[in-house]
Chain A
Amino acid sequence: MDRVRVTTQRLFPFGTIFLILILLATLPLYVQPYLVILLTTILMYVIITVSWTIFSGPTRYISLASAAFFGVGVYTSALLGKAFPLPVVIVAGSLFSFILALCIGLLTLRLRGMYFIIFTFSITELMRHFLLWWETTMTGTVGRWVVIVDHTVVYYVMLVIFVLVLLAAHLIRHSRFGLALRSIGEQEEAATHIGINATLVKTITFAISAFFMGATGAIMATKWKYIDPKIAFDPLLSFMPVLMAIFGGTGQLFGPVFGAAVFAYLEEVLTTKFPYYYMLLFGSILIVVILFLPHGMVGLVQNLRKRGVKRQNANP
């Protein structure tokens, strides 16, 4: 196991990360707007996938509430966008998601396995239908216009959230908190018997993960210009982070980053190049990955490296 850790560190030394960040930060200066917009979407998926992994990776509680938290951010942006400056709107979107997640967490984190998955999924549906009802009966509107923000600003905000979510994921992973999360994922009952307050740890982590999803929703809404409950709470966005994380491999921090980036890019290429066969191709690729790369793409890279070093114990 130690060797695995060393290998990943060598794969991504601090300098490389720094260079990649500088490259991403200066990108809008010398590339076409199309690429900046594409990268914004990719970053959005990466952020949501990494935030999803912060909670669901170590605890193995598969959450399908991502779309709900993202949607809260989107709606906050639509409601507050005209009255408040952008940073306030984004922070508000994050906090509302955070609070929603705290409430959901306290209510539902007693559920496990399939029950938890179904409950989290229904949260998104509940939010969507509630807002739809609210908008049609109370306010008499169905959709809302969102204050438009320049696409480079959207990109930079997304980049900042991306850096923050990576930092948060890294810090949690390497802290005592991360160890508690892993213990809960491995054996929850034993974890509580060595003094871990599982409910508290799970709820806080769930809320932290929702915080970043809310922020992403708040900024992404400005790019969409027009939103309604169906757009804001799109259930597909609950499944995407799960698929992307599996695609990349949840064992390492960079797994979900890669998974989401490649996945989102692939989606873009396939939809533009093969608009009629895109779903078919997409599905096939996903099946191949799940069948042959149980630890995702990062797992593949590690296996190749390991094979080069020495044949080791077969355990991942």
Chain B
Amino acid sequence: MRILEGKNVTKHFGGLAAVHQVDFNIHQGEVVGLIGPNGAGKTTLFNLISGSLPTTGGEITYKGKRITGLKPHQICKRGVARTFQSAKLFSGMTVFENALAASLFGTKRVISVPDAEKEAAELLEFVELSTVREMLAKDLPIADRKRLEVARALATKPDLLMFDEVMAGLNPTEIAQAMELITEIRKKGITIFMIEHVMKAIMNVCDRIIVLHHGSKIAEGTPGEIATSRTVIEVYLGE
């Protein structure tokens, strides 16, 4: 089943076509990677899906229903969560409060505060941040900040989770842990769409990869196909 579908998705900033007539599908339960050189329009595409930016053209549907034109909070409540390239945490709030806010507001149905607290605590346990739950988010090291962003996104109970370079700035050990975490999230039945520059991670965890270049989709396929594609090697991977 297609959980997310984009048809002719376009975003122009003045004369610049940041995303140009991109078609894509994400199936339920898949892990799909989105790669491409800097400035290819990857984050812009994420912003269009999550509602941060209005589209110039095209249509995005989630679970068969059109979500283009909806506000970010409405899209979140429908079940699409995301993280940001540079972690956008509530820095002056505690780790626990960060997760709690997402639990309280992320879903369509109203949740009681004790239930939300229980959920937030469980998610912090899941991403292994329980020991620092009373620390302020701004005092966390980078790897933990990324984990907290993931926990906060998970707290909105998404069916589709979009990671925007969740591994950027992490060391090899931390990258291995992050890959493990993604596998765990997948086991929960959550569909994942991820932008990533860490090739090892992308090749290992993704079922399918979409390649963007200058705002257009230039390739799509399994990690094996992408790794050997002439065009992709030329514009992005290199020899």
Tell me the bound Cα distance from A56 to B208 in angstroms: 47
Tell me the bound Cα distance from A256 to B79 in angstroms: 40
Tell me the bound Cα distance from A185 to B106 in angstroms: 18
Q: Give the residues from 262 to 316 in chain A that come closer than 8 angstroms, CB to CB, to chain B.
A: 313, 315
Tell me the bound Cα distance from A106 to B146 in angstroms: 34
Q: Give the residues from 44 to 70 in chain B that come closer than 8 angstroms, CB to CB, to chain A.
A: 50, 52
Q: Across the interface, which residues of B come within 8 angstroms of A182, CB to CB?
A: 90, 92-93, 97
Q: Are B90 and A190 in contact (CB under 8 A)?
A: yes
Q: Are A194 and B101 in contact (CB under 8 A)?
A: yes
In the complex, B10 has a CB within 8 A of chain A: no
Q: Which of B106, B113, B138 contacts A195 (CB 8 A)?
A: B106
Q: Are A1 and B105 in contact (CB under 8 A)?
A: no
In the complex, B94 has a CB within 8 A of chain A: yes
Q: Give the residues from 1 to 53 in chain A that come closer than 8 angstroms, CB to CB, to chain B.
A: 1-2
Give the interface SS of chain A, mostly helix, strand, loop or mixed: helix
Q: Which of A1, A2, A183, A195 contacts B76 (CB 8 A)?
A: A195
Contact A179/B73 with A190-B90, A193-B50, A196-B105 known, Cβ cut-off 8 Å: no
Q: Give the residues from 182 to 211 in chain A that come closer than 8 angstroms, CB to CB, to chain B.
A: 182-183, 185-187, 189-198
Q: Across the interface, which residues of B come within 8 angstroms of A191, CB to CB?
A: 90, 101
Q: Which of B91, B94, B105 contacts A180 (CB 8 A)?
A: B105
Q: Which of A179, A187, A198 contacts B91 (CB 8 A)?
A: A187
Minimum CB distance partner of A197 in chain B = B73
Q: Give the residues from 35 to 89 in chain A that come closer than 8 angstroms, CB to CB, to chain B.
A: none
Q: Are A197 and B100 in contact (CB under 8 A)?
A: no
Minimum CB distance partner of A182 in chain B = B93
Tell me the bound Cα distance from A196 to B52 in angstroms: 13
Q: Are A195 and B92 in contact (CB under 8 A)?
A: no
Q: Which of A1, A185, A192, A315 contacts B73 (CB 8 A)?
A: A192
Contact A192/B90 with A180-B101, A183-B101 known, Cβ cut-off 8 Å: no
Q: Across the interface, which residues of A come within 8 angstroms of B102, CB to CB?
A: 194-195
Nearest chain A CB to B77 CB, angstrom units: 5
Q: Mark B141-153, 1 if CB is under 8 A from A, else 0.
A: 0000000000011
In the complex, B81 has a CB within 8 A of chain A: yes
Minimum CB distance partner of A198 in chain B = B73
Minimum CB distance partner of B84 in chain A = A190
Q: Give the residues from 131 to 188 in chain B that come closer than 8 angstroms, CB to CB, to chain A.
A: 134, 136, 138-139, 152-153, 155-156
Q: Are A193 and B101 in contact (CB under 8 A)?
A: no
Nearest chain B CB to A177 CB, angstrom units: 10
In the complex, B104 has a CB within 8 A of chain A: yes
Q: Are B93 and A186 in contact (CB under 8 A)?
A: yes
Q: Are A315 and B136 in contact (CB under 8 A)?
A: yes
Contact A192/B101 with A1-B94, A187-B90 known, Cβ cut-off 8 Å: no
Q: Are B156 and A179 in contact (CB under 8 A)?
A: no
Q: Give the residues from 157 to 182 in chain A that come closer than 8 angstroms, CB to CB, to chain B.
A: 176, 179-180, 182
In the complex, B213 has a CB within 8 A of chain A: no
Q: Are B97 and A195 in contact (CB under 8 A)?
A: no
Tell me the bound Cα distance from A1 to B92 in angstroms: 11
Which residues does B use to contact A, with CB under 8 Å? 50, 52, 71-73, 76-77, 81-82, 84, 88-94, 97, 100-102, 104-107, 113, 116, 134, 136, 138-139, 152-153, 155-156
The 3 nearest A-B residue pairs measured at CB: A186-B90, A195-B105, A194-B102
